[in-house]
A = this chain, B = another copy of it.
Amino acid sequence: MVRQKIQIKKIDNLTARQVTFSKRRRGLFKKAQELSTLCDAEIALIVFSATGKLFDYSSSSMMQLIQRHSLQSEKSNKPGQQPLHTQSGSSNHAKISKELGDLTLELKQLMGEELQGLGMSDLMKLEKLVETGLNRVGKTKNDKLLSEISKLKTRESELMAENARLKQEANQKLGCARNGMEQGNSAESITNFHQDLVHRPDEDSDTSLKLGLPFSNGN
């Protein structure tokens, strides 16, 4: 018998809490159905027990209702339908910080090992978080790589330009020198000449084009 009106706070006694959960849950679902029937409303109700067990009801298709919800709730924020949000856990900050600490621990675990203690929903949340982090890292890395490539290409053209200048310069100097000595030798012969004189530059230019890629899979 209802000896006294209870206050709405978490029931301490475990069994009493479970019993009440069972009873009130049924009541809630019944009310939901009744409202749906009486007033032609569409209703989706999802309940997770403290132990993680799922109970749900929907007057039509759960998926459709959820879609509709995400659609409407993002379109317009209607005031007055969410004063209820802040009810459940605003009482003790100690618990909140504790939970946050636990979550941090979970994150560490996810980064490292030991994922077995985690529930699926926790895993999903953490996965999302890690995913964003990963994306950001990837983006940053990408930018750096592209920047590097850009710099290298610039550098390459600079070197090639200088290279060309040097060759031309060499030709000019050689021509000048030869002019002073003999005159009249063609560019090819000059090239051949210093090819012997120095360390076969042509071969080097060729190899430079087909050189390998040492750290391509370095991840």
Contact = CB atoms under 8 A, between A and B. Distances in A.
B215 A144 contact: yes
B154 A152 contact: no
A64 B83 CA distance: 19
Contacts of A113: 74
A86 interface: yes
Contact residues of A: prevailing secondary structure:
helix
Contacts of A128: 103-104, 107
Contact of A31 (B24, B51, B79, B177): B24
Interface in A32-69: 32-60, 62-69
Interface residues of A, number: 159
Given A50-B41, A65-B46, A149-B148, A162 B132 contact: no
A99 B159 CA distance: 54
Interface in A60-90: 60, 62-74, 77-79, 81-90
Contacts of A54: 68-69, 72-73, 77-78, 81
